[in-house]
Amino acid sequence: MFFKDVIGQEEAKQRLINEVKEGRIAHAKLLCGKEGIGKLPLAIAYARYLSCEHPNEHDACGVCPNCIKYNKLAHPDLHFVFPVIKKKSGKDTISDDFLPEWRELLNNTPYFNLAMWLREMGAENQQAQIYVKESDEIFRKLSLKSSQGGYKVMIIWLPEKMNVECSNKLLKLLEEPPAQTVFLLVSEEPDALLATIQSRTQRFQLHGIDEKDMVNALIDKFGLQASDAKSIAHRSEGSYLKALETLHLSEDSKVFFELFVSLMRLSYQRKIREMRQWSETVGSMGRERQKNFLTYCQRMIRENFINNFRNPSLVYLNTEEQNFSSRFSPFVNEKNVMGIMDELSEAQRHIEQNVNARMVFFDFSLKMIVLLVQK
């Protein structure tokens, strides 16, 4: 992964390059922003640039021994930490246990989210976490001398998934970092981190990908017509993952859309028996998919509410969603939109707390009966 491979984010790339040129390399950076905007690819490109023996004005050289090792993400001074699931043995696992799968996913598509990584690991109903055992591995790796005499780089993807004990141990390392060590924390929820960790890192906020850069990437990679690329780029809200989702309409997206439409219709028609069956279906999905579905529902409620203002530039729906919204959006208004969003947030909290999922979704569906009639 080079800077040139990162879609857009030109200002961020130049800031990072300038810091290296001027010798202003922070020992710990917290790269923040929503999913799909290129935080992880940018972190890897920055790590390569730090390790490159002959970097140029805009990127790593690509031909030195260090760059060659980065091509396979196998440089001895590049280390990854990421959320993992427990193996069947039940013992705490570490990132290295899933390193082959991690490298394969990164090489295939550096733009991915937690749901995609969970599928790669075969998580099924498990939730991923960075366990305390990982902190011991971080200490061990960073205590070793740099094999190439340069920087040792530790990229921690989704540090908000660290358990408390692991976070406290990492804090000690951030307070007294080993020489020539750079931590790159790639986060989508930076405020979920310990305040003490946040205070010891340099926050580096990333914004969504500009529509122009998104359009160019879609045309170059998929050969789309300019008009189609512009339409997809607009609906992506700066996220390359959302653009790919719109382009391919992934299996999960189809399922989530059908489940959402089904719930709204059943709730409006007050078909209690069918609603219970609907709850059984959603309740049988894995916890991470359930959380993703609730996030999708929140997006659909928000977009349908905005759709009432008749300003297409503010609405980010694909064609199928838009066709449904043209009939459904009048049922989402200023009297019930906050109530629906609050119920979705509460359902998400309960799912995260491992409350019985079938009960959570049936309770939510019953509340929708009341909320949808408020006009």
Could you tell me which residues are beta bridge partners of residue 79? Answer: 154
State the CB neighbour count (10 A cutoff) for residue 49: 22
pTM, two decimals, is 0.72
3-state secondary structure of 312: helix
Q: What is the mean pLDDT of residues 49-68?
A: 93
Q: Give strand pairing partners of 233.
A: none
Residue 50: pLDDT above 70? yes
182 pLDDT higher than 90: yes
- Give the pLDDT of residue 89: 67
Res 244: pLDDT = 86
Q: Please say if the pLDDT value at position 223 is more than 60.
A: yes
Question: Of the candidates 120, 139, 118, 119, which has an alpha carbon nearest to the alpha carbon of residue 129?
Answer: 118
The residue extents of the domains of the chain are 3-205, 209-248, 251-372
DSSP assignment of 174-231: HHSPPTTEEEEEEES-GGGS-HHHHHTSEEEE-PPPPHHHHHHHHHHHH---HHHHHH
Give the type of residue at 125. Answer: N
Position 58 confidence tier, pLDDT thresholds 50, 70, 90:
very high
Classified as helix, coil or strand, 34 is coil
Average pLDDT over residues 279-302: 91
- How large is the average pLDDT for residues 191-220? 93
Q: Do domains 3-205 and 251-372 have the same CATH topology?
A: no
Tokens of 97: 């246990």
Percentage of the chain modeled with pLDDT above 90: 66
| Mean pLDDT, rounded, for 281-299 | 90
CB 111 within 8 A of CB 36: yes
Query: 3.30.2090.10, 3.30.750.24, 3.40.50.300, 1.20.140.10: which CATH number matches 3-205?
Result: 3.40.50.300
The CATH classification of domain 251-372, taken from the options 2.40.33, 1.20.272, 1.10.8, 1.25.40: 1.20.272
In angstroms, the CA 305 to CA 298 distance is 11
The Cα-based distances of 283 to 152, 262, 278, 349, 362 in angstroms read: 44, 15, 8, 15, 9
By C-alpha distance, which of 156, 158, 111, 118 is closest to 138? 156
pLDDT at 249 over 60: no
What are 256-273's pLDDT values in tens digits?
A: 999 999 999 999 999 999
d(CA 240, CA 232): 10
